Structure 1
Amino acid sequence: MTSADLSSGPRSLRLAEWPVLDGSALPEEQRTVFQRRKLAVEAYARGDTLLGIAEAYGVHGYTVQRLVFRAQQAHPDGRLWGYRALAPHVRVRSYVRSKAPLVLGHKTGGNAGAFAQLLLRHSSLKVQLRGELEAGNVVLHPGERGRMTGVKGVAARFQQACRELGLGAGDYPLNQEDKAIRSLGRTLRAWLQDDFDLAARVAVARAKPASALRQLPERGASDAFDTVEFDAHKMDVRLRVIDCDPLGGEQSFETERVWLLAIIDVATRCILGYTLSFKRECSRFEAIATFRRAVTPASAPELTLPGLSLLPSGGFVSQALEQTRYACWRQIRLDNARAHLAATSLDVVCEALGCAADFGPAYQPDDRPFIERFFGTVTATLSRRLPGALPGRGSAQAALKRLRDPKDTLRLIVTTQELEELLDLTVWNYHGTPHAGLGGLTPLEMMQRHVLGIGREPVRPRLIPQMLRERPELLHDPVLCRVHGNLGRGERPYITFFHVRYTSEWLARRSGLIGQRLRIHYDESDLRKVHASTEDGQIIDDLLASGPWRYEPHSLWVRQEVFKAKRRRQLEFGTGDSPIEAFLALRRKDAGKRRRSASDIAQVQRERKTASAKAKAAAIPTPTPLADALPDPASSQLVVGPVRGKRLRIERGYAR
């Protein structure tokens, strides 16, 4: 302690910021000493003289200044020592060894602080040990003592690093009987105890990050439709698809995987929308389809499986409460998946729906606890109860061995259609089941309290614009397509969208649009027609696809797969043939060998079922052929009357 520290005086003391100490926890003798020291320091901060303090409290003036100096030192927790430094027998600084280490054989004492002295002299050794922990070379097993493994390998590399620094057999730690391996282990354990994040990476079991320790705001929400969480979950279950061939026979194939995408309301735990996908990976189109399903009204599911019944207290949110139809949320939480970070997905979330996107930290699913907990409920109540489920790492091998028995068949595994019905039933009944996080209320009852104002102020959800209700395809970003055509050849205007020509009666008559660009909005689940507008925003008629692409509902994924197979010369179809049936026939050849082909068949079946349900709900008839809907552009260009020959002129330089 310097003379400057002793003469600093009480002007720099801020006792209100000092960490306090509960004196009642000390023994009686130490508690008496602590109270006298505390009163003496407080009197010194008020400006009393050192002589008066010594007479009043029995604490020497130099001791008071020494206590103040100790209290203003930095504590390992980042704060000052404060009143904690006034307790007797408390060290405010760790022990620093100055004497050279002793050469010990079988003795255990005499080298206190030698290992810390070594790391202080050679900082590269400390960096190496920290790197061993961060690289995961040391494993901390769960338990009260926290047993560590991998220390011997770290010690061997540490000793080699000591030799490379020039330390010989007569230097510490190589001159010790155990080569200071116990001191090394105690140092590693002390570092892990002081750094929770480092210990969580070293631990075998995944440690949940505490939001309170990160000083983040509460992850919950107080109002319905304020905050929602969205994520995708790969269901650990084997599925089969039943396909009917053109001859009427049924064949069963096992699919590759199935994804569940869902949006949950944080305040009420209600599932606003969900989607199944049988593709290998989820794309931005599945994410947008889930958003669209969450903001559009839902209807009661139609159950065909025997023994299934819907709970009277359950239901879908938009089906049970008319006020929530077309309702949108204020904020949505997502992870850092590429499908969520895509520009199209962000435009839908932030611009079309008008909500804020909250991307949590990567590889921390507990930052979105509510949707993850729902996925856990689906796994426990649905996935693991199905034949062919893969509940865990140990039992998965036994399940695969039993279900892949050559004598066994796929008859015990549920089909994709059955899974959709079971999922609809699960979500419906989930809304009518008491929830522990809602105080025993069901999610649907909590939503009713928020929307209807039962026991609280009612929530007025924000509704999406009327144009989005009538045309959900406007959720997608527009695609600019150039209008093609040629007046000299009599070729009417049209556009090319994903390898297929589109036109309409209105566009076919507007030759002035040739060369200009149109804004195309499309529904990726049904590309039979697209919504078009000019670059200045004038809405024109819907454009219909040409050829066989107009008659059968198909998604963008199906069209891309068809033309991909066509480029590879794996698929051929004529003018009057259905490209979708040709694609299914191609996948049927490999469905018995490749589960991905079976998943493609399941995806096409699901898209057909969804399109049929939409047409039935909206009472929209199937589009009529071109001859009945629009005048055939080709036939309208035919000349009526006698035809005169035209003289052809071959330009110079033309060669046959």
Structure 2
Amino acid sequence: MKPVDLQNGPRSLRLAEWPILDDSALVEGQRAVFQQRKLAIEAYARGETLRRIAEECGIHGYTVQRLVRRAQQAHPDGRLWGYRALVPHVRVRSYERSKAPRVLVHETAGNAGAFAQLLQRHPGLALQLRRELEAGNVALQPGEPGRLTGVKGAAARFHQACRELGLGAGDYPLNQQDKAIRSLGRTLRAWMQDDFDLAARAAGTRVKPASALRQLPERGAGDAFDTVEFDAHKMDVRLKVIDRDPLGGEQSYETERVWLLAIIDVATRCILGYTLSMKRECSRFEAIATFRRAVTPASAPELTLPGLSLLPSGGFVSQVVEQTRYACWRQIRLDNARAHLAATSLDVVCEALGCAADFGPAYQPDDRPFIERFFGTVTATLSRRLPGALAGRAAAHKALKRLRDPKDTLRLIVTTQELEELLDLTVWNYHGTPHAGLGGFTPLEMMQRHVLGIGREPVRLRLIPQPLRERPELLHDPVLCRVHGNLGRGERPYITLFHVRYTSAWLAQRSGLIGQRLRIHYDEGDLRRVRASTQDGQVLEDLLASGPWRHEPHSLLVRQEVFKAKRKRQLDFGTSDNPIEAFLALRRKDAGKRRRSASDIAQVQRERKKASSKTRANPTPPSPPAEPTAQAASSQLVTGPVKGQRLRIERGFAR
């Protein structure tokens, strides 16, 4: 609000926007003066002259204009003083000292406003005191009003900063009896009283702001697929993996940890996509896998556990509402995790999917309340009901003691495959359960109202392009790989991706591509086949991995772990050996001691199960082998003399 222009009179005066005051709280003398001033201000706002106001209200015209100027000044709460400035003996401006501070060696009075004057002259000192509170050097003890600790240390550092600015023993605050330590403490307490977040930080507690109390605009979304929230949650549950050794026996090992990554639609509370990760920390590949699952159609889960039943009113979004298949959102809210800030993740979010990324503040999960509330629902309805749940810190310590006990058994702990089925069941039934935040509607019913236009205008969905629907691996940024080969030695063209050669029948015949670079798109969950294209955009035939890597389903994580163990000389396999089986044999040796090894075994099992289910869903008939011809056989032979060359092995590669 702009202050009133007294030259224009009361035309710019808007009393309706002034903060009101309950005059019944004033004493009788103050109430009479306040009502008299209020009547004079209201008469002035109606356009009456100052002389008539002085005759009717008994207040001089100059006093009326002075009261208007006082009421139009800014209050510390961000509003105008308004009617609060009409109370007698109320200061609308803080005290500002104009004289130089006195030297007080044996006294403690006479320097009102000297500390504020010092901070105003040297803003760097005020910043240093602010940092003392933000860094936690000055703490606030529990209770009301609370006792400050660490003030003496902050005062010593403050005095040292004063000396560095050139203030000597004859200058304030070093010339005072108490070195202004009481003024420093009062200033710190006053700052905390004006800033609740600063006081909570000094008290060592995390603030959970409510949207209704933050005085901020509502960050919700009114339409489906307008705004979504994405985050990762570490599930507090113990898991085991059942491994079958080559002799047919079963061994149970406890895994390290499990992460749940999910995307929720803000307007309908529907879970668009979710994935489980067995890694120690989530990476950008898990984030991109969740994005890909959210924009591709989902199928009904296959339940093998007895006693599980799917609600008839539940289901997955893309399965129940077919219009939402391949639909994408407008903006996504994320936190400042490194997996989300990776360049690859941002390219997928902003370029491939064409949506905006809204990164919330660090260490404030309440800025994304809907996904956090869903994680709380999963914790209450699933994680804490399992036999191996870790309900809190005390339960975690008890679980660790049990892990060190050789008599502890893993018989009652669920397996990773059982957790996947339970999670599918939880999301399915969650979509068919009435939601309090949706007025009693289920998330699927609310999604149908938005998409089908029931009781409102239907939303316009934005679908991902057709190439992304057919080949979801195009979400990843392409990797440039050079085509190797040598005509003199008879080496056909091939590329090397993550330590493994890739080629195809088409590429093996194109010797003109040797030395050029190809754009490779890969699926991090299955590296048996990659998509290749030239730098000018021509799509080539899919390239297949060489040797056993072509037939054994494996992810990028498993391949990296295999070659990591090989570099450490813990693993050795030949060209005809199965590297995945060799890796499993290595992990079985220490799976009983290291839970990370058990997590690797569980990861391999999940990848094999996923590949087998995909094969059952999309069976491909085997093509009859082509009969070799004499011309084809002769074309594979090298004609002419062949000169041997010295083999050069680049640095950094082991055999």
TM-score, normalised on structure 2? 0.86
Q: CA deviation at 1:81?
A: 2.8
CA 1:630–1:420: 2 relative to 1, 3 Å: farther
Deviation at 1:334, TM superposition (A): 1.4
| Amino acid across the alignment from 1:309 | S
The 5-angstrom pairing of residues 534-549 of structure 1 reads 534-549=534-549
Mapped contact 1:229–1:264 kept (Cα < 8 A): yes
CA distance 1:294–1:8, change in 2 (3 Å): closer
| Conservation of the 8 A alpha-carbon contact between 2:159 and 2:174 | no
Q: Distance in 1 between matches of 2:74 and 2:438?
A: 45
1:248 and 1:650 map into 2 onto residues whose CA distance is: 49
Q: CA deviation at 1:186?
A: 4.6
- Cα 1:103–1:276 shift into 2, 3 Å: same
Q: In the alignment, what sits opposite 1:375?
A: 375
Question: Distance in 1 between the 2:216 and 2:456 partners?
Answer: 27
Partner of 2:650: none
Match of 2:596 in 1: 596
Taking the TM superposition and a 5 Å limit, the aligned residue runs for 1:451-530 are 451-530=451-530
Residue 130 of structure 1 deviates from its aligned partner by 3.4
How far residue 229 of structure 1 moved from its aligned partner, in angstroms, is 0.9
- Match runs of 1:151-162 below 5 Å: 153=152, 157=156
Q: What amino acid is aligned across from residue 219 of structure 2 in structure 1?
A: R
1:16–1:600: structure 2 CA closer, same or farther, 3 Å change rule? same
Pair 1:263–1:146, CA change in 2 (3 A): farther
**Post-superposition offset of 1:632:** 12
For 1:538-579, what per-residue CA distance to the aligned partner results, in whole angstroms no more than 9, with x for missing partners? 222211111111111111222222222222222111121101
Query: Does 207-216 or 331-340 show the bigger shift?
Result: 207-216
What is the alpha-carbon distance in structure 1 between the residues aligned to residue 368 and residue 115 of structure 2? 45
Q: Which runs of 5+ in 2 are unaligned?
A: 647-655
What residue is the counterpart of 2:14 in the other structure? 16
Distance in 2 between residues matched to 1:529 and 1:542, nearest whole Å: 7
Cα distance between partner residues in 1 of 2:331 and 2:587 = 41
1:558 is the counterpart of 2:558? yes
Paired AA for residue 88 in structure 2: P
Partner of 1:194 in structure 2? 194
Cα distance, 1:579–1:403 mapped onto 2, change above 3 Å? closer
Partner amino acid for 1:600? D
Indicate if the aligned counterparts of 1:240 and 1:410 stay in contact, CA closer than 8 A.
yes
Where structure 1 has 5 or more consecutive residues not aligned to the other structure, the ranges are 1-6, 652-656
CA contact (8 A) 1:115 1:183 kept: no
Tell which deviates more after alignment, 540-549 or 629-638.
629-638
Q: Deviations over 1:79-128 (max 9, x none)?
A: 443432112232223456889699999xxxx95x8574345347687555
Distance 2:215 2:534 in 1: 50
Which stretch shifts more, 198-207 or 416-425? Answer: 198-207
Deviation, 1:646, is 4.8
Identity percentage of aligned residues: 77
**49 and 228 in structure 1: CA distance in 2 versus 1, 3 angstrom threshold:** closer
2:366 corresponds to 1:366 = yes
8 Å Cα contact 2:10/2:44 also seen in 1:
no
**Cα separation, partners in 2 of 1:266 and 1:8, compared to 1, 3 Å:** closer
Structure 1 residues 633 and 141: CA distance shift in structure 2, 3 A:
farther
Change (3 A) 1:194 1:462: same
- Cα displacement (A) at 1:244: 1.4
Distance 1:561 1:433 in 2: 42
Q: Summarize the alignment of residues 314-353 of structure 1 with structure 2, pairs less than 5 Å apart.
A: 314-353=314-353
8 Å Cα contact 1:240/1:252 also seen in 2: yes
Distance change (3 Å), C-alpha of 1:325 and 1:130: closer
Please give the alpha-carbon distance, in whole angstroms, between the structure 2 residues aligned to 1:632 and 1:132. 83
2:430 partner amino acid: Y
Which residue number in structure 2 is paired with residue 132 of structure 1?
132
What is the correspondence of 1:107-186 to structure 2 with a 5 Å cutoff?
111=109, 116-121=113-118, 129-140=129-140, 145-150=144-149, 153=152, 157=156, 175=177, 185-186=185-186
Instruction: Give the match for residue 308 of structure 1.
Output: 308
RMSD of Structure 2 on Structure 1 (CA)? 3.7
Question: What is the letter of the counterpart of residue 341 of structure 1?
Answer: L
* Residue equivalent to 1:396: 396
Kindly indicate whether the alpha-carbon contact (under 8 Å) linking 2:96 and 2:117 is maintained by their aligned counterparts in 1. no
Answer whether contact 1:125 1:161 (CA < 8 A) is retained.
Answer: no
Name the CA distance, whole Å, in 1 between partners of 2:626 and 2:364.
54
Aligned pair count? 631
Q: Deviation at 1:258?
A: 0.9
- Between 1:524-533 and 1:204-213, the stretch displaced more is 204-213
- The worse-fitting range, judged by mean Cα deviation, of 352-361 and 21-30 is 21-30
Take 1:181 and 1:513, find their aligned partners in 2: how far apart are those partners?
77
**Structure 2 counterpart of 1:15, one-letter code:** L
Counterpart AA for 2:397 = Q
Q: Deviations over 1:367-403 (max 9, x none)?
A: 1111111111111111122223222223332343345
1:308 aligned partner, one-letter code:
L
Question: Is the Cα–Cα contact under 8 Å of residues 529 and 542 in structure 1 kept in the other structure?
Answer: yes
1:19-58 to 2 correspondence within 5 Å? 19-22=18-21, 24-27=23-26, 29-41=29-41, 43=43, 50-58=50-58
Cα distance in structure 2, aligned partners of 1:171 and 1:478: 64
Deviation, structure 1 residue 588: 1.4
Asked if the contact 2:529–2:545 (Cα under 8 Å) also holds between the matched residues in 1, the reply is: yes
Could you tell me which residue of structure 1 aligns to residue 649 of structure 2? none
What residue is the counterpart of 1:654 in the other structure? none
> d(CA) in 1 for partners of 2:632 and 2:578?
23
Q: What is the identity, as a one-letter code, of the residue corresponding to 2:13?
A: L
Offset of 1:606 from its aligned partner?
A: 1.1
Aligned equivalent of 1:4: none
Which residue of 2 is the match for residue 249 of structure 1?
249
Q: For the structure 1 residues 13 and 174, does the alpha-carbon distance in structure 2 shift closer, same or farther, using more than 3 Å as the test?
A: farther
> Match of 2:147, as an amino acid?
M
The C-alpha deviation readout for 1:28-66, integer Å capped at 9, x for no partner, is: 654442233234345556776644432221013443344
Partner SS for 2:411: helix
Is contact 2:155-2:181 (8 Å) kept? no
TM-score under structure 1 normalisation?
0.86
Instruction: Return the letter of the residue paired with 1:457.
Output: E
Report the secondary structure of 1:230's partner residue: strand
Distance in 1 (CA, whole Å) between partners of 2:282 and 2:547 is 30
| Structure 1 position 236, deviation (Å) | 1.6
Kindly provide the CA deviation profile for residues 175-211 of structure 1, in whole angstroms up to 9, marking residues without a partner as x.
57xx987766554332211123312322332112455
Please say if residues 10 and 45 of structure 1, whose CA atoms lie closer than 8 Å, have aligned partners that are also in contact.
no
Amino acid at match of 2:601: I
**Structure 2 residue matching 1:410: 3-state secondary structure:** coil
Seen in structure 2, the aligned counterparts of structure 1 residues 512 and 215 have a Cα distance that, compared at 3 Å, is farther
Look up the equivalent residue of 1:412 and give its one-letter code.
L
How far apart in 1 are the matches of 2:239 and 2:39? 76
CA apart distance, 1:270: 0.8
Indicate if the aligned counterparts of 1:134 and 1:201 stay in contact, CA closer than 8 A. yes
Instruction: Work out whether residues 256 and 280 of structure 1, in 8 Å CA contact, stay in contact via their aligned partners in 2.
Output: yes
